[in-house]
Chain A
Amino acid sequence: MIQSKSLTKKFDDFTALDSLNCHIQKGSIYGLVGSNGSGKSTFLRLVSGVYRPDSGEITVDGKSVYENPAIKQKIFFVSDEPYFLNQATMDEMAAFYKGLYPTFSDEIYRKLSQIFPIERKKKINTFSKGMKRQVMIILAFACNTEYILLDEAFDGLDPMMRQLLDKLLIEKSADSQLTVIISSHILRELEDICDHIGLLHQGRIIFEEDIDDLKLGITKVQVIFGQNGETPDLSGLQIIKKEQKGSLYSFVIKGKQPQIEEYLKNTHPVFMEALPLTLEEVFLTQMEELGYEFNNIL
């Protein structure tokens, strides 16, 4: 479990994180969402022990991370800008990490090296951006740690590799209780993989929720009403958003789907259908409810 309490980090006069509180369950795949400069990378560096907090605390399994090798051995951090030793090959980098992480698994390393199309004995500095990222992902999994922190993990990966990564993360998380934090500013990247989401804005997490719970509480419905298209009384519903295109109404309503459908049936609509919500739509509704302008955040 990763927990932060009143976590603050400043760079000169700029406050990157401002009394940030969060709670990340063990075994979850946590999506950390925020615009550029919102503090995502800073948070990940604090979790991995690269930065020291200015105030507050960040703990992993109840213990402080900074200058704590025992805890750091459980964490593997993949930065947004991967770094490799000068003129090193993937095998040499694997040897480097093997010396540091006692949980390093040669078996996983070999297996992944076969799955990803990467030449192990070729110098990494000759690889493309996407290939370098694949190398980091292979090494991250090979280290077999309990926590993996991925900063902009999908940047540079082609769609096939993204799917592969998604699959790996989900499988690993299910099998061995791997906890993953993925940061991104693109909601769509996280939609299929994360089970928890946190929104970072101006140094604070303004929104943190299980995605399923999030979706359960909101229903999107398209309706065509009868009675000459006049809108019936819908005061019994908590309508968050309403759109109209001709006689077709689209509502985003707070509440569980069965109850909302039951209510609408009583208005004798000509047509009614419940639609799945995208993560973006969920966020949109949540942000508006909280009083934020969505476009200002992402």
Chain B
Amino acid sequence: MVRNGFARSKALIVTYSVVSFIFYPLMFLLGLVLNGGQSISSYSLIFLAVSTPTYLVYYPMVAIMPLVIAAIIWGYLFSKPAVDVFHAMPIKKSKLYAANYLAGLLIYSIPIILCSVLAAVIYMLWYPTASFADGAATVSQAEMVATMFKQMAAVLYTGIGLYSLACLVAVSTGTAFDFVLYTIGLSAASPMLLFISQIFGEGFLYGYYSNSDYAEIMGKIFPTAHMIMALADIDGVNWIGWGLGYLAVSAVLVAVGILLYNRRKSEHSGKTYTGSLVSHIVKGLISFIMGAFLGLSLYTIDENLFWFYFGLVLGSVISYFVIETIVSRGLKTLPKRILPCSIIVLVLLIFSSCYTMDFFRFEKFVPDISDISVVSLNYKTEDSTVSEVKYMEPEAIQAIVDLQSQAVEREKTDVFQDDFYDPENSEYYYYQKYNSLFSPEIIYTLKNGRTVKRRYQQKFTYEEVANLALLLDTESYKKANDNFADINYNQIASLYIYDKTQGTSAALNYNSRQLCELLNAMSEDMEKMSFKERYAPDKPQVAVINLQKAYSPDYSGTTVASKDYNFVVYQDSKTYKLLQQYTKSEVYSVDYEGIVSVDLVRTDSNRITYQESQLVYNNVYSEFTPNITLNDPDLIKQAIDSAYLYYGKEYLTGEENGYLVRINYGAVSNEDKESYISYGEEKTAAGESFYAESSIKGSANCLFIPYEKLPQSIRSLLK
């Protein structure tokens, strides 16, 4: 019977094989020839896409071939005369299913495998000793060929998954139209359900949040999308894990398919029938989507659960019966479907209630500290996200657990009730008790391997946020953010030094010995510094070193910077001594002559301004009228020399009482000028502007003079 499967698919096998050969190994060879013999470092099927018309033909073909093969192998089920022959044959249905399945599987897989092997052989013959040493990494020919086969594996397991599903659907339907409709519907089912689960979670569960992981998972459980993702970046996909998963699911689908085929009635061939399990599932899914959509839409009116349930039931019932009418080509079957529709609606109600009623106690759950292995606290500032820090220190874990406990207690708290607007001050002044910009994501990894994720918005006061500063002095934080000890001198993609205002900069062109010394000095200095000393010190700094660590070279041979480090240099540091030895001070000294004026903007704990966050100083730079503008060069120099560099947005301020220093360099770009004018004031004079580019855009640092450090000459000018 397997041979019979081949015989029935003769034309398809020939076409598929020929097209695969032309648009894969042959086109690959053509691409190599046309490449002029230059080394290609980026073999993959993507290379084929870039260099040849393969992407127009091979990818779409390989993506839909599982459906086409299933349609041809099982096509007899859609024809009454054909079914008479096949089901009268002296062969059990389970055996017939297995034989047909195997035939289709081989038809799909063999051309892919043969073409991949051929392409690999071509590659190895073309580049017998290929390796790409560019920068820090070497990619061998073996690795390139391995990538080729990993992608082949991804194409195979996703295709097999889709094929297994298509076979199951084929034995449950009576016409080719229903087969296509239900296969597409079912293959999109799991990502759609995951998507709706996320929407429900976001809508009903306090503390729930979805992130890009879910979108990635949704893509990966949809076979066609997974195939494309794997072709684009196989190393970004855990292909072994996903491959085993897909194969396991395929095995289950085959088992279920055999069961359904055994129960399938021959008289259903050639006509649509809506009583199969597959039909019920697809109708249920579509009804759920429509019901959920209507329910959520009505819920947004006044967040009343009644409207949600009303919309859910109404939407799902109407959708169900509309689909039934369309698929069964009439109203005759509707009375019979009242019971299945009722069951589906009941299932939807139970599913939805798991979210609306928090059946699984999601909202109140705070893990016990003794169960926690490690915890991350990710929070967004205006331009950056502090993340990828896993805290293991008990005090850090305790602080984060306390933070979550506070949020859980405040679920129903009206966070705006204590806010007030101070009209005596500028219109921008609005007092907020709760920090509106602080929205931490808490990710616990428990000792039992389970991960617990939560996110809360505007549930923490400024003081509570400030108390988290202790996290920044932990070893975990240091290790994650400023660990120069792990960097080798040959991993440095770029090295620059800036003056403390970042007005001037220059590359540090050190040799390997000097780089090693510099890295050691920075590590030693960093080890001794607390977070506050690094980012919000009480002594002036000299310069900022910016280092970019190189990532492994990609297959094009270029080096890509992976991580950006900024290191603030103090006068009493080892790093400064090294700089004095190897670099002239002019390179990193402040160019006072280039500064037109300096604005001082007052800030203190009693003046929490609109949109101000204690994490962010940039807005203060650009939005507020300065308390004083200094034009005198001496005063400018005094101000800058007195100022401390607060580097990075991660710093959580306490009660700084002093003046932010805003430096104006001169002419501003048109874009910045537009930004300035939008605030309602036009202060341009010929050739002058009042905002430095970096100030408007928001640089990674700020200059700050504590009130007590303000030079007397400047203090006397202030009212």
Contacts and interface: CB of A to CB of B under 8 A. Distances in A.
Interface in A7-47: 11, 45
Contacts of B303: none
A50 B265 CA distance: 9
Interface residues of B, number: 26
Given A51-B265, A51-B267, A83 B79 contact: yes
Interface stretch (A68-76, A184-192, A222-230, A236-244): A68-76
Interface string B50-83: 0000000000000000000000000010011111
A96 B6 CA distance: 12
Interface stretch (A84-92, A210-218, A256-264, A283-291): A84-92
Interface in B218-275: 262, 265-267
B10 interface: yes
A73 B90 contact: yes
B93 interface: yes
Contacts of B1: 99
B277 interface: no
A146 B87 CA distance: 18
Contacts of B90: 69-73, 100-101
A82 interface: yes
A67 B266 contact: no
B89 A85 contact: no
Given A67-B93, A81-B80, A50 B266 contact: yes
For the residues of A in contact with B, the DSSP-based class is loop
B347 interface: no
A82 B81 CA distance: 6
B336 to A, nearest CB: 9
A156 B10 CA distance: 30
Nearest to A13: B332
Contacts of A172: none
Contacts of B10: 86-87
B8 interface: yes
Nearest to A16: B267
Nearest to A100: B89
Given A96-B7, A99-B4, A45 B80 contact: no
A141 interface: no
A69 B91 contact: yes
A52 interface: yes
Given A45-B84, A81-B80, A83-B79, A51 B266 contact: yes
B92 A50 contact: no
A79 B11 CA distance: 27
B4 A50 contact: no
A182 B419 CA distance: 93
A148 to B, nearest CB: 12
B301 interface: no
B81 A85 contact: no
Interface string B77-115: 001111111011111110000000000000000000000
Contact of A67 (B8, B79, B85, B92): B92
Given A86-B8, A87-B10, A96-B4, A48 B88 contact: yes
B85 A83 contact: yes
Contact of B7 (A69, A92, A101): A92
A77 interface: yes
B85 A79 contact: yes
A59 to B, nearest CB: 16
Q: In this complex, which of B76, B83, B84 has the most chain A Cβ atoms within 10 angstroms of its Cβ? A: B84
B79 A85 contact: no
B87 A49 contact: yes
A96 B267 CA distance: 24
B88 A77 contact: yes
B337 to A, nearest CB: 13
Contact of A11 (B3, B89, B92, B267): B267
Contact of B265 (A48, A52, A70, A73): A52
B91 A100 contact: yes
Interface string B414-444: 0000000000000000000000000000000
A86 B13 CA distance: 14
30 contacts: A11-B267, A48-B84, A48-B88, A49-B87, A50-B88, A51-B265, A51-B266, A52-B265, A67-B262, A69-B90, A69-B92, A72-B88, A72-B89, A72-B90, A72-B91, A73-B90, A75-B88, A81-B81, A81-B84, A82-B81, A83-B76, A85-B4, A86-B8, A87-B11, A96-B4, A96-B7, A99-B1, A100-B89, A100-B91, A101-B90
Interface of A: 11, 45, 48-52, 67, 69-73, 75-77, 79, 81-83, 85-88, 92, 96, 99-101
